């Protein structure tokens, strides 16, 4: 019995092909690999029955101003989920220490840029598809919660919140200016607004606030 997967898959690829250019277009025109298509058929499709907000071969800039590609990016609201499908073939069998290190750095960079990263092996998606589905459902619920939490913030404000979460010490207006490359007055306005809405808490200073920390009520917030 046709569950609609083949038709939806063709439309999914057609839709994203029409939106791509350059290397991103070339990658998707080559077609998804067997492991990636199996993931869609055995895990994603049974879970959701659609491919909305899912992006195959999603391009992200790396530190060298080149591009890296995520197998599937699920983007909803302000939060992002990276889904990587790991085959068990010559690529991993013959990988060099340098290539393995580069792959780890890539994953770390995604996390630091605000991505939630999940990695699945081909063995896992073919033998434990429902367990994979359960993990994705949990992760998706988490990013929906994040999206709701940040719905009233601007991109600059979210960058400041991310800076406060990552920092091991209070952040200052100078930190914000350097991080966002914005003016002195604008940095103070952003910090004041986040303080008024209880995203930040003044760390030092009374009349003249010099530094800020994440507000205690937001300490469980994650990007």
CA dihedral 36, 41, 44, 47 (to 10 degrees): -170
DSSP per-residue codes, 30-59:
T---HHHHHHIIIIIHHHHSS-TTEEEEEE
If asked whether residues 125 and 208 sit together in one domain, one would say: no
If asked whether residues 94 and 113 sit together in one domain, one would say: yes
If asked whether residues 141 and 165 sit together in one domain, one would say: no
If asked whether residues 116 and 33 sit together in one domain, one would say: yes
* Among 35, 37, 33, residue whose Cα is nearest residue 9: 37
pTM: 0.65
If asked whether residues 17 and 76 sit together in one domain, one would say: yes
CB 63 within 8 A of CB 109: yes
If asked whether residues 106 and 36 sit together in one domain, one would say: yes
Q: Which of 123, 149, 175 is the last residue of a domain?
A: 149
Distance CA 105, CA 210 (A): 34
> Are β-strands 54-61 and 67-76 bridged in parallel, bridged antiparallel, or unpaired?
antiparallel
SS3 category, 215? coil
Q: What's the pLDDT score for residue 51?
A: 95
- The answer to whether residue 94 sits within a structural domain is yes
Largest CA-CA distance found in the chain, in angstroms, rounded: 71
Distance CA 55, CA 75 (A): 8
Tens digit of each residue's pLDDT (9 = 90 or more) over 138-185: 888 777 766 667 778 888 898 899 889 888 899 999 999 988 889 989
Instruction: Indicate whether 131 pLDDT > 50.
Output: yes
| CATH code for the domain in which residue 176 is found | 1.10.10.10
Distance CA 131, CA 48 (A): 15
- The answer to whether residue 223 sits within a structural domain is no
If asked whether residues 159 and 133 sit together in one domain, one would say: no
Distance CA 41, CA 13 (A): 14
If asked whether residues 122 and 174 sit together in one domain, one would say: no
If asked whether residues 43 and 119 sit together in one domain, one would say: yes
Q: What's the pLDDT score for residue 10?
A: 94
Which helix (H) or strand (E) segment holds residue 180: the answer is helix 173-180
Distance CA 187, CA 176 (A): 6
If asked whether residues 99 and 24 sit together in one domain, one would say: yes
Distance CA 43, CA 120 (A): 11
* Averaged pLDDT, 99-106: 78
Instruction: Indicate whether 222 pLDDT > 70.
Output: no
Q: What's the pLDDT score for residue 135?
A: 94
Tens digit of each residue's pLDDT (9 = 90 or more) over 83-95: 999 875 545 566 7
If asked whether residues 47 and 128 sit together in one domain, one would say: yes
Domain that holds residue 212: 155-218
How many structural domains are present in the chain?
2
Instruction: Indicate whether 1 pLDDT > 50.
Output: no
């Amino acid at each position: 019995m046709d569950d609609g997967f083949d038709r939806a898959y063709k439309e999914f690829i057609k839709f994203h092909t029409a939106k791509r250019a350059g290397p991103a277009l070339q990658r998707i025109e080559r077609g998804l690999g067997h492991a990636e298509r199996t993931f869609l058929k055995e895990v994603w499709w049974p879970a959701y029955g659609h491919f909305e907000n899912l992006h195959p071969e999603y391009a992200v800039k790396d530190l060298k101003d080149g591009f890296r590609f995520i197998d599937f990016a699920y983007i909803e609201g302000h939060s992002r989920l990276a889904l990587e499908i790991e085959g068990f073939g010559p690529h991993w069998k013959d990988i060099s220490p340098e290539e393995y290190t580069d792959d780890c750095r890539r994953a770390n960079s995604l996390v630091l840029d605000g991505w939630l990263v999940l990695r699945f092996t081909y063995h896992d998606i073919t033998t434990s598809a429902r367990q994979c589905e359960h993990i994705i459902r949990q992760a998706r619920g988490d990013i929906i919660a994040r999206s709701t939490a940040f719905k009233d913030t601007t991109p600059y404000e979210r960058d400041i919140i991310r800076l406060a979460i990552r920092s091991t010490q209070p952040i200052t207006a100078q930190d914000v200016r350097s991080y966002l490359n914005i003016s002195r007055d604008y940095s103070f306005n952003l910090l004041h607004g986040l303080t008024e809405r209880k995203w930040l808490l003044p760390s030092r200073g009374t009349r003249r606030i010099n530094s800020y920390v994440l507000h205690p009520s937001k300490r469980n917030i994650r990007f």
